[in-house]
Amino acid sequence: MPHRPHRPSPAMVIALIALFVALGGTGYAAATGSIDSREIKNSSIQGTDVKDKSLTAKDFQGSIRGPAGRDGATGATGAPGLAGATGPSGAKGDKGDDGDTGPAGATNVTSRVGTDFVVNRNSFASGTATCNAGERATGGGVHSVTNDFYPQLVQSEPVGSSPPTGWKATVALHDQATQAPATATMTPYVVCAAP
């Protein structure tokens, strides 16, 4: 009786195919040296398994952070900025309080004359006019009674304590080639003011 070859069962065929696939994958990895994450167990690779200087900073981006560096030097002061635009006008302020009433000013002003005095040629003479009680001197001067051209006023000043109460005038009568009169009569006056 002739011998017939034994036909493998379907289960045997599937097992052989799986074996070939497994051996073929391992052989590919061994032949190319390429190993992906499927062949590496998690947390199994150590530093000694990696070639020195084969990894760059990009490979560690987002996973390892070194210690903070020292603060850098202070930079130079920047240029001043441009002037800002003029702001809007502010609201009008409240009216201030009324000030205190000041002292009363002079309302009555008059001039008063003093006693006439005589000035001799080539000499000086003075006369004084005085205000009445309660008045103060605000100005003064002197005029010539004889309407002479030659007398010269050399000094005009207030007299009395503050406020002044009179006015003093000093006159000189210089000789000009004997053309000046021998004497000149002068009248002092004062301008007085009262509240």
Answer whether residue 171 shows pLDDT above 50.
Answer: yes
pLDDT class of 96 with cuts at 50, 70, 90: confident
Over the stretch 100-147, which tens digit does the pLDDT of each residue have? 887 766 678 999 999 999 999 899 999 999 999 999 999 999 999 987
pLDDT of residue 138: 94
Q: Which domains does the chain have, with CATH numbers?
A: 108-194 (2.40.30)
Which residue in the block uniquely carries the two structure tokens 């002079």? 106
Predicted confidence (pLDDT) per residue in 2-18, tens digit: 555 556 666 665 666 66
Query: Residue 23: which H helix or E strand, with range?
Result: helix 10-32
Spatial CB neighbours of 28, under 8 Å, sequence gap ≥ 6: 34
Question: Per-residue pLDDT tens for 30-39?
Answer: 445 556 666 6
Pairwise CA distance, residues 14 & 11, whole Å: 5
pTM of the model: 0.47
Mean pLDDT of the region 138-162: 90
DSSP label of 19: H
163: helix, coil or strand? Answer: coil
